[in-house]
Amino acid sequence: MPRDPRAAMLDMVIAIETAVRLMGERSQAEFEADEENHWAVWSQIIILGEAAGRIPSEDQSAMPEIPWSTAIGMRHRLVHGYDSVDWGRVWKTVRDDLPGLKTQLDSRLGE
């Protein structure tokens, strides 16, 4: 049975909130030096991308403002390239991209 798109979007929001909270106010250098923290944040981005992939394509098409392929693609890169993660890119994603994505998802969930 297909998963409810709203439930998957809520999973995305929770993963974003958790990643942002875990990273906190760390600088990029602090984040990269904290192995336990960067793997914890990594796991939340994996969850985010996995949940995005559970949204049916017709629902994704109805929400073109949400970067579905980017979220899913980053999950794939992190999972399959676990041995060569660009931690600076992960830090930048959490700091710069995830708050805006959360706003977009919250807006859709509020409808």
Cβ neighbours of 55 (radius 10 Å): 24
> Which range is least confidently modeled, 1-5, 26-30, 68-72, 92-96?
1-5
pTM score: 0.94
Q: Which amino acid is at 27?
A: S
When the pLDDT of each residue in the chain is averaged and rounded to a whole number, the result is: 95
Residue 106 tokens read as 């919250």
Listed by start position, the domains of the chain span 5-109
Q: Is residue 54 over pLDDT 60?
A: yes
SS3 track for 38-101 = HHHHHHHHHHHHHHHHCCCHHHHHCCCCCCHHHHHHHHHHHHHCHHHCCHHHHHHHHHHHHHHH
Residue with tokens 């394509």: 57
CA–CA separation, 85 and 79 (whole Å): 9
